């Protein structure tokens, strides 16, 4: 087989890039190791920056998003069981949209089927070759047969544990990483959300987040030990801890019910540099991870998609052979700024294992300062709604 671009990874970033390239009449193929059912079973975050919404519109993947997405004009921050609101609309005249990552992926898969897209699910043993030459190719197994695709470029959208970054010699990569000493225990419940906007809560016993998927489906998180086990958390224990950490008014109005899904996710900041190696490009979690505190993971992957899509269009349509060489620099500038914001949110809202009373007072003072400073609120709002692509 021969194509212009091979995309390894059929998650939201790989599918979005595929759709954009197809619309630009750039020939491409997607290789995904899992079945569609498995990909759509993964529960992920659901806060989209305006830039991400605009990019999905450009990809013609926003029809259901327009009908079912929830526009949020702010968030609530809480400390000592008292909350106040950060008003994005009045501060920076921008908003975010709550729409589940699984639903984004579902919409993109629908377009792939509709457009007769070249998508191979259950592609096994995918390996990129010769990406430091002018003849890169990818080999894989599908339906028991070995296949080979010759191409111009290989794009790694296969996540943190994917194959693409692992094929790059370690002496060519610079890794910067911080692994946080706690995780998030997440619970999905068929209950109405406690608030119509997200609540981020600092508490002396640990962090909590009140989020949602829709009007009847809530998503809540508690900070927990990285070595904890979901078996240790009965629904009763979870709801009691959540009530303890939320603002008093939210705790009193919280509707509880049986959990639908329960899991613990680790938190880390991770950046791999550069994001281009010859004709191989890294996108999204294949190159960087941020803690979920600022809702940036998917949005950061989509900004990578934007930069790479623009570069590939210039390369193939404008005969600008240098355009792809700027991708890594452009993407990494935004990656590091976003990583800084996610680190700040995480450091301000969570309780660390060795945290003293002094550290807790500093966090509370930081949050109280935010309440009284419109300038500080504007800086937070600018970052939360998303830095420009």
DSSP per-residue codes, 95-161: -EEE--HHHHHHHHHHHHHHTT--EETT-EEEEEE-TTSS--EEEEEETTEEEEEE-SEEEE-S-TT
Percent of the residues in the chain that have a pLDDT greater than 70, as a whole number: 98
Q: What is the pTM of this model?
A: 0.94
CA distance 310 to 326: 11
pLDDT range class, residue 214, cuts 50, 70, 90? confident
Cα separation, 221 vs 211, in Å, equals 8
At 375 the pLDDT is 98
Token pair in block for residue 75: 């968030």
pLDDT of 42 over the 80 cut: no
Domain ranges of the chain: 5-71+97-176+268-345, 179-267+351-385
Fold match, 5-71+97-176+268-345 / 179-267+351-385: no
Are 277 and 131 contacting, i.e. CB atoms less than 8 angstroms apart? yes
> For the domain 5-71+97-176+268-345, what is the CATH superfamily, name and number?
FAD/NAD(P)-binding domain (3.50.50.60)
Among the ranges given (5-14, 114-123, 327-336), the one the predictor scored with the smallest mean pLDDT:
114-123
- Mean pLDDT (the chain) is 95
> On the CB side of 316, how many CA atoms lie within 13 Å of its CA?
18
| pLDDT surpassing 80 at residue 45 | no
Q: Active-site residues: which are they?
A: 72, 200, 292, 296, 384
H/E segment holding residue 280: strand 280-282
What pLDDT is attached to residue 114?
66
Residue 203 — very low, low, confident or very high, per pLDDT cuts 50/70/90?
very high
Q: With bands split at pLDDT 50, 70 and 90, how would you rate the model's confidence at 43?
A: low
For residue 99 the two structure tokens come to: 């729409």
Backbone angles phi, psi at 137, to 5 degrees: -155, 165
Whole-number Å distance between alpha carbons of 130 and 77: 50
Does residue 274 have a cis bond before it (omega within 30 degrees)?
yes
CATH 3.40.50.740 fits 179-267+351-385, yes or no: no
Give yes or no for residue 24 having a pLDDT over 70: yes
- Does residue 151 contact residue 4 with C-beta atoms inside 8 Å? yes
* Tokens 């080979």 -> residue: 148
- In angstroms, the CA 333 to CA 307 distance is 11
Distance between CA 229 and CA 209 in Å, rounded? 19
Angle value at C-alpha 179, between 201 and 205, nearest 5 degrees: 30
pLDDT band at 39 (very low <50, low <70, confident <90, very high): confident
Farthest CA pair distance, the chain: 64
Question: Is 117 a residue whose pLDDT tops 70?
Answer: no
């Amino acid at each position: 087989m021969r194509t212009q671009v091979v995309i390894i990874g059929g998650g939201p970033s790989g599918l979005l890039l595929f759709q954009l390239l197809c619309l630009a009449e750039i020939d491409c193929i997607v290789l995904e190791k899992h079945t569609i059912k498995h990909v759509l079973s993964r529960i992920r975050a659901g806060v989209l920056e305006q830039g991400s919404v605009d990019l999905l519109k450009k990809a013609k993947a926003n029809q259901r998003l327009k009908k079912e997405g929830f526009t949020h004009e702010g968030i609530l921050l809480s400390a000592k069981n008292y909350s106040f609101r950060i008003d994005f609309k009045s501060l920076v005249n921008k908003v975010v949209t709550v729409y589940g990552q699984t639903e984004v992926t579902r919409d993109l898969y629908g377009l792939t089927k509709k457009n007769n897209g070249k998508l191979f699910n259950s592609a096994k043993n995918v390996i990129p070759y010769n990406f430091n030459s002018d003849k890169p190719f990818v080999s894989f197994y599908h339906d028991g047969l070995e296949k080979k695709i010759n191409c111009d470029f290989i794009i790694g959208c296969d996540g943190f544990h994917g194959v693409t970054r692992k094929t790059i010699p370690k002496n060519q990569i610079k890794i910067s990483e911080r692994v946080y000493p706690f995780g998030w225990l997440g619970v999905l419940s068929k209950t109405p959300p406690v608030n119509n906007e997200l609540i981020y809560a600092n508490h002396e016993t640990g962090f909590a987040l009140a989020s949602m998927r829709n009007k009847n489906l809530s998503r809540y998180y508690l900070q927990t030990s990285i070595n904890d086990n979901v078996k240790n958390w009965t629904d009763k224990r979870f709801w009691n801890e959540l009530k303890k950490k939320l603002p008093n008014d939210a705790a009193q109005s919280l509707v509880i019910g049986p959990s639908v899904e329960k899991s613990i996710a680790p938190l880390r900041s991770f950046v791999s540099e550069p994001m281009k190696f010859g004709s191989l490009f890294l996108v999204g979690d294949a190159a960087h991870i941020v803690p979920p505190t600022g809702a940036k993971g998917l949005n950061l992957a989509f900004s990578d998609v934007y930069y790479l899509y623009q570069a590939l269009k210039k390369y193939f349509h404008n005969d600008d052979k240098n355009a792809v060489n700027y991708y890594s620099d452009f993407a990494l500038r935004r990656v590091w700024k976003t990583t800084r914001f996610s680190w700040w949110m995480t450091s301000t809202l969570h309780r660390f294992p060795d945290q003293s009373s002094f550290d807790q007072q500093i966090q509370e003072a930081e949050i109280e300062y935010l309440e009284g400073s419109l300038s500080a609120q504007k800086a937070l709002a600018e970052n939360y709604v998303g830095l420009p692509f």
